[in-house]
Amino acid sequence: MVASPSLLMRRIHQQKHVGVSSVIPLAALLANSHIWMMYGYLDSNFFPVFSCFLVGDLCALVYLSIYFYYTTERRYVLRVLAVVIPILLLVSVYVIVGGLGYTGQTTKQVSTIVGCIADFAGICLYGAPMEKLFQVLKHKSAVFINIHMVIAGTTNNVIWLTYGILITNWFIIFINVLFVTLGTFTLCLYKVYNPKTHPLQDGWNTHPDDEEEISVSIDLTPHLESKASKKSLTNLPSPEYSAVSSPLDPLRR
């Protein structure tokens, strides 16, 4: 499961850009792996929970480093990490302080709270691709789905669900039932909107407002004509006063 984004990272490295990939699933992978690692430590489940999610924690850091190096939206990535990392630090401090008994709780009580937080982190991990599922439904193309990660994730969740049933751990059972359901739905969606038969159309990332350009032209000719006409009107003889020759001029001559 934690190795599945490596194919995406390889493609990003070859293309030198992240394309339509989102940083949210990678940040959620980091949060999920770190909190489940903490839970495995408190529950004294060093294998497979603690060891597996320790590897996931390290892999997520590598993936985020690669994504950050090639993305053009580094400010957005930093904002995402600015939300995730402080939460992980708070959970880590709580695990250390609570595990040492300074919170007045038993290790079992602390592990129960961390288990609830781990389930929430898992929901965030598998809820993160929902952003892309909406894009799939909108553009009628499954190019946004990282199918390798979905297949690996669904297979991984079936195994964890079986393990949770065997040890009767409801934290593991609950979250993986949800994951298997969501993974199955994502696979069905990929089958319906397969990128090979439903390629992404050109201009998919343009807004309707961007398609219409507003042009403003200022024509100075009418102003020039009006000035010329005003000038000619001022040169016309006055309609009220005009010079009239005297009728006595011929007699005087």
Query: What pLDDT score does 106 carry?
Result: 92
Residue 54 — φ and ψ, nearest 5°?
-65, -45
Query: Does residue 237 have a cis peptide bond before it, meaning omega lies within 30 degrees of 0?
Result: no
Residue with tokens 């090979």: 196
Tell me whether residue 149 is in a domain.
Answer: yes
Query: What pLDDT score does 105 carry?
Result: 92
Query: What pLDDT score does 250 carry?
Result: 54
CA distances from 146 to 76, 151, 178 (A): 21, 9, 19
Q: Along the chain (253 residues), what's the average pLDDT of each consecutive run of 10 residues? A: 83 90 87 92 91 94 96 94 95 94 92 92 73 81 81 89 94 92 90 85 56 42 49 50 53 52
pLDDT digits (tens, 9 = 90+) for 14-26: 999 998 788 988 9
Tell me whether residue 125 is in a domain.
Answer: yes
Query: What pLDDT score does 95 carry?
Result: 94
Tell me whether residue 205 is in a domain.
Answer: no
Tell me whether residue 111 is in a domain.
Answer: yes
Tell me whether residue 217 is in a domain.
Answer: no
Tell me whether residue 201 is in a domain.
Answer: no
Query: What pLDDT score does 212 carry?
Result: 43
Tell me whether residue 230 is in a domain.
Answer: no
Query: What pLDDT score does 209 carry?
Result: 47
Residue with tokens 């990678």: 26
Domain span holding position 170: 5-192
Query: What pLDDT score does 253 carry?
Result: 53
| DSSP element (H, E) containing 27 | helix 24-42
The amino acid sitting at 78 is L
Number of domains in the chain: 1
Tell me whether residue 159 is in a domain.
Answer: yes
Q: Are 157 and 176 in contact, with CB atoms under 8 Å apart?
A: yes
